[in-house]
Amino acid sequence: MGSWVEVGDRVFVRRYTFYDQNIGVVLDGDDVLLIDTRSTHVHAREVAADLRELTAAPVTIVVNTHGHFDHAYGNRVFRPAPIWGHEGCVTFMTRTGELRRARIALEEPEIAGDLAEVVIDPPDRTFAETAYLEVGGRRVELRYLGRGHTDHDIVVRVPDAAVVFAGDLLENGAVPFFGDAYPLDWPETAFRVAELVSNVVVPGHGDHAGPSFADAQPVALAGIAALARQITAGHMTIEDALAATPFPEHPADDVRLPLQRAIAQLRGEIS
């Protein structure tokens, strides 16, 4: 577990070892905006304790970048603060929460006991395209830019600090996770994220970075879609595509799921 890093004026990020996840904070006076809440109530309480290093004030606003367990299953710890998210985040967490709890308990047995006690608590403040939040005297912008890592990812932009929290629309240090992705849509959505980045971007996982990172990831994501089209057209096999991975810094087999997901979308199996 790392320490808080100030990536912009009173804008902080902390990387946690579990899933190499980033948690963001925006401060102004007694207002505290928290971006994502980690995987369980136990993990969320760690965040709450760590926040004491920055402020004695309680969390006044929570934002979920999306509804995956590692970003939103700690929500209940920060009530009664309002929780903001895309309207699709509520649908996703309500419809899939219990099934995912059971699946994740099998995949991550070290947190299975804690997961069993989690109260899944979806956002109670929602929007479709854009929302503006007041954090003290600061304006924070929430933007839905299109389908990508899920159908409801949002970015959090802090204009006066030139910081963008991209959630899992961007990932640093690993191939992005495609399990719920829309691979044909994701490149364009990621390009839109990159257009917002003038200084610092904080991905959902991995180190914060600058515009060059934000510009490069949409190109790699477009490479996945292009390879999938070649496979479905019969011009190459999936093994050929693995050898041509657009994420050459990572094991080639890490793009197998992304390719399979893109092929499924091309075949109309994902709507």
Task: Output the tens digit of pLDDT for each of the chain's 271 residues.
Answer: 689 999 999 999 999 999 999 999 999 999 999 999 999 999 999 999 999 999 999 999 999 999 999 999 999 999 999 999 999 999 999 999 999 999 999 999 999 999 999 999 999 999 999 999 999 999 999 999 999 999 999 999 999 999 999 999 999 999 999 999 999 999 999 999 999 999 999 999 999 999 999 999 999 999 999 999 999 999 999 999 999 999 999 999 999 999 999 999 999 999 8
Residue 37 lies in a domain: yes
Residue 114 lies in a domain: yes
Residue 68 CA to residue 46 CA, distance in Å, equals: 19
Residue 158 CA to residue 201 CA, distance in Å, equals: 10
- Record the pTM: 0.98
At 1 the pLDDT is 65
Residue 228 lies in a domain: yes
Total tally of structural domains belonging to the chain: 1
At 271 the pLDDT is 84
Residue 26 CA to residue 139 CA, distance in Å, equals: 10
Name residue 21's amino acid: Q
Residue 203 CA to residue 164 CA, distance in Å, equals: 9
Residue 78 lies in a domain: yes
Q: By residue range, what is the domain housing residue 88?
A: 5-266
Residue 271 lies in a domain: no
Question: What string of H, E and C letters represents the secondary structure of 51-104?
Answer: HCCCCCCCCCEEECCCCCHHHHCCHHHHCCCCEEEEHHHHHHHHHHHHHHHHHH
CA neighbours closer than 13 Å in the CB half-sphere of residue 179: 6
Instruction: Assess contact for 149 and 169: CB atoms under 8 A.
Output: yes
At 230 the pLDDT is 98
Domain containing residue 218: CATH number: 3.60.15.10
Instruction: Assess contact for 183 and 225: CB atoms under 8 A.
Output: yes
Residue 204 lies in a domain: yes
Residue 106 lies in a domain: yes
Residue 44 lies in a domain: yes
